[in-house]
Chains A and B, each alone.
Chain A
Amino acid sequence: MNLKLKVWRQRGSGDRGRLVEYEAKNISPDVSFLEMLDIVNEELTRKNVEPVAFDHDCREGICGTCSLMVNGIAHGPRRATTACQLHLRHFKDGDTITIEPWHAKAFPVIKDLVVDRSAFDRIVQAGGFISVNTGGVPEANTIPVPKRTADRAMDAAACIGCGACVASCKNASAMLFVAAKVSHLALLPQGQAEKKERVQKMVAQMDKEGFGACTNQYECEAVCPKEISVSFIAKMNREYLKSSI
């Protein structure tokens, strides 16, 4: 199949980006979206045009590195799918596809489609953990966790930190990401001791990084490749308000 691509090119964070048109020709529909970009890059290199920089690593939807806005939707049109697992069979021959990086003040563009998501790391560093030193822990089965609670914690913990929630949010809010971590740890008995400080610190850091606020439109949930529920945002709000009283 043949596709027309409009790709965001930006030399660096100080530069103004713009869309540049490229063609992707004779591509098999079984190719993944990133493999299509590989093919385009091979072709560009052959023409001595610098290839498009984009982030990717595991290419199986778990590392959370890939971060493409495909036709205005984070990770593209397929639900619960990262860009690396999106295959061209979901597009039509002759389609025009606009590819942009995540745009958010807290995620400055490094180059082309690559953005800096270290804000997420700093939020976790602020409190997204259980303070337990190596070794000094009880035997695993001394902390029973009801199956339902463990499953629910796992639902939240499945977040891959890709940033699609921020990218798609009309306010570039990081609430879903933060809420997933807060909820994961707040649900488990192990996480109770620091529950209050954790949510306070993580929310404070989130605000400091320049993410927007949640306006409960749930666009994040719709694009989340791991289908993290916005109920966790409600849970985080609850935890936050409880901890503030």
Chain B
Amino acid sequence: MCFERLKSTVGRKAVMAVSGLILLLFVAGHMIGNLQVFLGQEALNSYADHLQSLPVLLWPVRLFLLLVLLLHMAVSISLAWENKTARPVPYAYQDTVQAGYVSRTMVVSGVVIFTFIVYHLLHFTFGTTHPQYFHLTDSKGRHDVYSMVILSFRDLWVSGSYVAAMAVLCAHLSHGIQSLFQSLGFNNEKSRPFFEKLAIAASIMIFIGNSFIPFAVLMGFLKLPSGVI
């Protein structure tokens, strides 16, 4: 594909769609991985350990995801800027017939999600925000992800911010997913309602799946293994 073509508005929308799709797949995979928390400490910690044990794979994937994220953001910023300048004089009387609130605030939700990602990485990947939970190890000497998760989410503020961020992500995806079918040209009159429903269903599933973890911790469904404080 010619690079020049990707620079057009239509091309950049396709870039948004593809990068968004990759990020979506990551979010979904990540969620499925995390849900192993319900299988208990052994399952989650061994999953985490397994991931960490493959640095040759882990780092290229992380780098790739970072690049995709940056691309998704950079392209969206360039488009948003152009979109803003395309109407230099705003309407005195503004009204909207069809465009939903979510679709009009994708940049805002995107910024919130990015902020959350930074926080999330500092929290669970770099251990900056809660260092006291980051160095726990389990009986097999592995990094005790399971306990870290539960201890962190016992804090109402932490859980609350995660759930709030998931709500924003859900909103972002509800427009983003259906949008990618349009931008990549899969929509037609018959498929559009289906993709719209699919988008909403998928984003709600991601919301429920991810939010269920802090929720379960707060409700006490997920308990610490014995031996941890």
Bound together, the chains give a CA A211 to CA B179 distance in angstroms of 19
Which of B152-160, B187-195, B213-221 is near enough to bind chain A? B187-195
Asked if residues B10 and A103 are in contact (CB atoms below 8 Å), the reply is: no
Max count, chain A CB within 10 A of own CB: residue among B91, B94, B188, B189: B91
Asked if residues A218 and B188 are in contact (CB atoms below 8 Å), the reply is: no
- The count of chain A contact residues (Cβ–Cβ below 8 Å) is 54
Bound together, the chains give a CA A217 to CA B98 distance in angstroms of 7
Q: When the two chains form the complex, which single residue of B79, B87, B184 contacts A213, counting CB atoms closer than 8 Å?
A: B79
Report chain B residues within 8 Å CB of A172. 83, 86-87
Bound together, the chains give a CA A105 to CA B86 distance in angstroms of 5
Taking the nearest CB of chain B, how far is it from the CB of A108, in angstroms? Answer: 10
In the complex, residue of chain A having the shortest beta-carbon distance to the beta carbon of B3 = A244
In the complex, residue of chain A having the shortest beta-carbon distance to the beta carbon of B179 = A216
B14 within 8 A of A: yes
Asked if residues A240 and B103 are in contact (CB atoms below 8 Å), the reply is: no
Asked if residues B86 and A17 are in contact (CB atoms below 8 Å), the reply is: no
Q: When the two chains form the complex, which single residue of B11, B90, B93, B187 contacts A71, counting CB atoms closer than 8 Å?
A: B93
Bound together, the chains give a CA A233 to CA B192 distance in angstroms of 12
In the complex, residue of chain A having the shortest beta-carbon distance to the beta carbon of B187 = A234
Report chain A residues within 8 Å CB of B14. 237, 241
A112 within 8 A of B: no
Taking the nearest CB of chain B, how far is it from the CB of A74, in angstroms? Answer: 9
Report chain B residues within 8 Å CB of A207. 8-9
B92 within 8 A of A: yes
Asked if residues A213 and B82 are in contact (CB atoms below 8 Å), the reply is: yes
8 Å CB contacts to A: which residues of B166-212?
175, 178-179, 181-189, 192
Asked if residues B10 and A203 are in contact (CB atoms below 8 Å), the reply is: yes
Bound together, the chains give a CA A229 to CA B178 distance in angstroms of 16
Report chain B residues within 8 Å CB of A210. 85-86
In the complex, residue of chain A having the shortest beta-carbon distance to the beta carbon of B79 = A213
Taking the nearest CB of chain A, how far is it from the CB of B27, in angstroms? Answer: 20
Asked if residues A231 and B192 are in contact (CB atoms below 8 Å), the reply is: yes
Q: Mark A82-114, 1 if CB is under 8 A from B, else 0.
A: 000000000000000010100111100100000
B56 within 8 A of A: no
B13 within 8 A of A: yes
Bound together, the chains give a CA A171 to CA B80 distance in angstroms of 8
Bound together, the chains give a CA A69 to CA B90 distance in angstroms of 12
Asked if residues A168 and B97 are in contact (CB atoms below 8 Å), the reply is: yes
Bound together, the chains give a CA A229 to CA B66 distance in angstroms of 36
Bound together, the chains give a CA A8 to CA B92 distance in angstroms of 9
In the complex, residue of chain A having the shortest beta-carbon distance to the beta carbon of B92 = A19
Asked if residues B104 and A216 are in contact (CB atoms below 8 Å), the reply is: no
8 Å CB contacts to A: which residues of B70-96?
79, 82-96
In the complex, residue of chain A having the shortest beta-carbon distance to the beta carbon of B87 = A172
Asked if residues B104 and A170 are in contact (CB atoms below 8 Å), the reply is: yes
A214 within 8 A of B: yes
Asked if residues B90 and A219 are in contact (CB atoms below 8 Å), the reply is: no
Asked if residues A100 and B93 are in contact (CB atoms below 8 Å), the reply is: yes
B44 within 8 A of A: no
Taking the nearest CB of chain A, how far is it from the CB of B79, in angstroms? Answer: 5
Bound together, the chains give a CA A171 to CA B87 distance in angstroms of 7
Asked if residues B185 and A217 are in contact (CB atoms below 8 Å), the reply is: no
Asked if residues B91 and A72 are in contact (CB atoms below 8 Å), the reply is: yes
B50 within 8 A of A: no
Asked if residues A98 and B86 are in contact (CB atoms below 8 Å), the reply is: no
Q: When the two chains form the complex, which single residue of B11, B92, B181 contacts A244, counting CB atoms closer than 8 Å?
A: B11
Asked if residues B185 and A234 are in contact (CB atoms below 8 Å), the reply is: yes
Max count, chain B CB within 10 A of own CB: residue among A19, A215, A229: A215
Do A239 and B185 form a contact, CB below 8 Å, given A170-B83, A216-B175, A231-B192? yes
Max count, chain B CB within 10 A of own CB: residue among A98, A106, A223: A98
8 Å CB contacts to A: which residues of B6-40?
6, 8-14
A40 within 8 A of B: no
A245 within 8 A of B: yes
B229 within 8 A of A: no
A residues within 8 Å of B by Cβ?
6, 8, 17, 19, 69, 71-73, 98, 100, 103-106, 109, 168, 170-173, 175, 200, 203-204, 206-207, 210-219, 221-223, 229-231, 233-242, 244-245
Could you list 7 examples of A-B contacts with CB < 8 Å? A72-B95, A213-B12, A215-B106, A217-B103, A236-B185, A237-B183, A238-B184
